[in-house]
Structure 1
Amino acid sequence: MQDIQIEVNYDFICPWCWIGQRNLTAALQQTDAGTAVSIRYVPFELNPAMPAEGMDRRVYRSQKFGSWARSQIMDAQVTAAGLAGGVHFHYDTVARTPNTRLAHRLMQFAQQRNDARATGSLYEALFAAYFAQGRDIGALDTLAAIAAEQGFDADDVRAYLLSDSGEREVDAARARSSQLGVQAVPTILIDGTAISGAQPPVVFVNALRSAGQRKAA
């Protein structure tokens, strides 16, 4: 039976994408489908016009949401929602909102190596680095260090990110997502069935079981 194809449309500055990933992982464990799926991480830049060096988070969020107080209320809501899935946000450590282009290209680098376990670990590590540790995931040095922590060669990562490798792939992925009707993240496609938002594990469990039944038939 062919693997169930999962496409995860994401951006690393989206906290709900991290929660959604944890819920998907929980569903894979509950259905014992981890070895029967193929996961592709599809970049979806929420702020493509963000300066390459990023912005002070307080300034950016105050401009985007009208006030810093409103931003803090939203952060508190996300933090509370994350606890149910074992996701721990530490917004007090996050000083900047990054441009995530380099991080998306790093994921392209990882996926080209066809090591699903390492790629999945890197994906999780990038969210944790930003939301839990306050690291600047828009900076090349930070990304190379995170990749090395997950078993990738830091020099290879640097060479890749200093070139233009992965640029076209990121653009093409976003264009394809738009053609498929993806308008927000997280959007997770399980064998073509789109699930929008950080849905609870049971939603993913049902989708995985339905996909498995279709494959078996």
Structure 2
Amino acid sequence: MKVTVKVTSDFICPWCLIGERRLAKAIESLPAGSEVDIVWQPFELNPTMPEAGLDRRSYRANKFGSWQYSQMLDQGTVKAAEHDDVAFDYDAIDKTPNTFKAHRLMWLADQQGLAQPLADALFAGYFEQGLDIGDSAVLAELGEKVGLDRAEVLVFLASNQGKGEVRAAEDALTDAGVSGVPLFEIGEQRISGAQSQATLTAALQAAMASCQDGFCTQG
């Protein structure tokens, strides 16, 4: 039994990280022999963000009206993720980055079968270590940790490779009506937001039930 799960997210979205961790636990809870293929789809929460990013405190204060309100929102995600193995360290984050390079690197990693470990590294790097995931050197280091060639990553990011493909994928999602993340497409179900592990598990089980002996009755 093999089910494809499409995950649309951005790596500076805390709810995307929470949702991804819950999805991982849901997959782990499936019966032995279950196969889940995760397809990552790009979405930029801040498509007009300067390439160098912006000071996080200033950016968030302007976006939400005050730094204090921004901190309240951050604490809301910390509380929501108490049981999701997420070690948020917002104090370590100095910058809100432009994530287009990160999505391009995901495109490269996918071609080498390394999209999932890179996604994990990007989320952890930003939210748990405060790394600037809009910086090419940081991305090269994270890529190297998951099995990509560091020099190849730097050359890739300095080129135009993957730009058209990522933009086209983003445009296709916008045309399909996707306006927020995270979004999980599991079988016939589209699940918006960081829903519970139980909700994700039920969707996975339903999708697997519709695909038995290599024959799918849905989707």
Q: Verify same fold: TM over 0.5.
A: yes
Are residues 1:177 and 2:176 paired? no
Structure 1: state its 5+ residue gaps.
Answer: none
- In 2, the alpha carbon distance for the partners of 1:198 and 1:26 equals 13
- Provide the TM-score with structure 2 as the length reference: 0.93
- Spell out the pairing of 1:1-217 with structure 2 (5 A cutoff): 3-32=2-31, 36-113=35-112, 115=113, 118-216=114-212
- How far residue 35 of structure 1 moved from its aligned partner, in angstroms, is 5.1
Change (3 A) 1:32 1:176: farther
Letter aligned with residue 173 of structure 1: A
- In 1, the alpha carbon distance for the partners of 2:168 and 2:7 equals 15
Contact 2:40-2:115 at 8 Å conserved across structures: no
- How far residue 119 of structure 1 moved from its aligned partner, in angstroms, is 2.2
- Matched residue of 1:5: which SS? strand
- In 2, the alpha carbon distance for the partners of 1:138 and 1:192 equals 34
* Corresponding residue pairs, total: 213
Change (3 A) 1:162 1:35: farther
> Aligned-pair RMSD on alpha carbons?
1.4
- Matched residue of 1:123: which SS? helix
Letter aligned with residue 123 of structure 2: F
Contact 2:188-2:207 at 8 Å conserved across structures: no
- In 2, the alpha carbon distance for the partners of 1:32 and 1:166 equals 37
Runs of 4+ in 1 over 6 A off after TM superposition: none
Contact 2:56-2:94 at 8 Å conserved across structures: yes
- In 2, the alpha carbon distance for the partners of 1:34 and 1:82 equals 29
- In 1, the alpha carbon distance for the partners of 2:16 and 2:167 equals 19
- Provide the TM-score with structure 1 as the length reference: 0.94
- In 2, the alpha carbon distance for the partners of 1:171 and 1:112 equals 17
